Amino acid sequence: MPAEESLLAEVPLFQGLDPAERATLASGMQLREFPAGAHIFRRGDPGSALHVITRGAVEISVDTTTGKQVLLGLLGRGDFFGELSLLDGLERAADAVAVEQTRTMEVDRTALEALFRKYPGAALDVLTVLGRRLREADRLLRTASSVSPNQEVAQQTTAIERIAERLAAFSGSLRFLGLHFLVFLSWVVLNLGLFHWVRPFDPFPFGFLTMATSLESIFLACFVLIAQNRQAASDRIRSDVEYAANIKAGLEVTQLHTKVDTLYAETMARLAVLERGLEHRPHA
């Protein structure tokens, strides 16, 4: 059903339009209903429409290369999303999920084109709001601090894994070796009957000591395997973080190359203009 024109006046994106322009835009818009938990769209979905929230709330998020979900924003009444696909017609860059019962106004490229053909000045108002939003997103990307691999690993480590790692580290130390040497030596000496004032509590062949050592070996082996699995997971996280850093560095290098090529082309063009001017200058 067509969207109500009065709702457009409450949306910051379209507040710069006059009533006639909002009426033209409203005639080409549709109201959409989404239950709580429903995906409005997923990352990678084709899309060429923008959504404006008239009721409810929408969560915008993306999944990182490490499988972690990053919340980009929680939008409410009057907010809009999906503007990138509206502008370039490419696939969605994030996931949009309705947090509660949500109603949105869907604006497609056809509706905007009809508005801009009838009122060309309205394009500047819409682009002004979109430009502000893109600048804000660029500011957030520049100021956001990246999480180090160690922080990422620490955030995903459970208490049992921390205990297992500490026990595994202790079992591979000289302190562990020296402690067991002293315990075994004392145990054997006290149970050989060398001292008449000490009654052996585990005589030869030291069955209780053998059982205790076997149980200790089993538990230590489990803790070492848990620590090794955690180390393997940590290595994968570090690899993903380093891969993302390399991709970012590659993009920055590409941007630098583009800027250098542009400067080179502009410089050569200016030199060509100067050469032509010198060729046409009369000789003294």
Residue 189 CA to residue 205 CA, distance in Å, equals 13
Check residue 149 and give its pLDDT: 62
SS3 state at 84: helix
Structure-token match 């079992």, residue found: 171
The closest alpha carbon to 82, from 157, 13, 181, 152, belongs to 13
Predicted confidence (pLDDT) per residue in 106-154, tens digit: 888 787 777 777 777 767 766 776 777 677 666 655 555 455 666 666 6
Contacts of 230 (CB under 8 A, 6+ apart): 157, 161, 164, 165
Check residue 2 and give its pLDDT: 44
Predicted confidence (pLDDT) per residue in 192-242, tens digit: 777 777 777 777 787 788 888 888 888 888 888 887 887 777 777 777 777
- Contact of 102 with 57, CB cutoff 8 Å: yes
Ranking 19-23, 86-90, 232-236 by mean pLDDT, the lowest is: 86-90
Q: Against a cut of 0.75, is the pTM above it?
A: no
Q: Is 48 exposed, middle or buried (0-12, 13-18, 19+ CB in 10 A)?
A: middle
Backbone angles phi, psi at 156, to 5 degrees: -100, 10
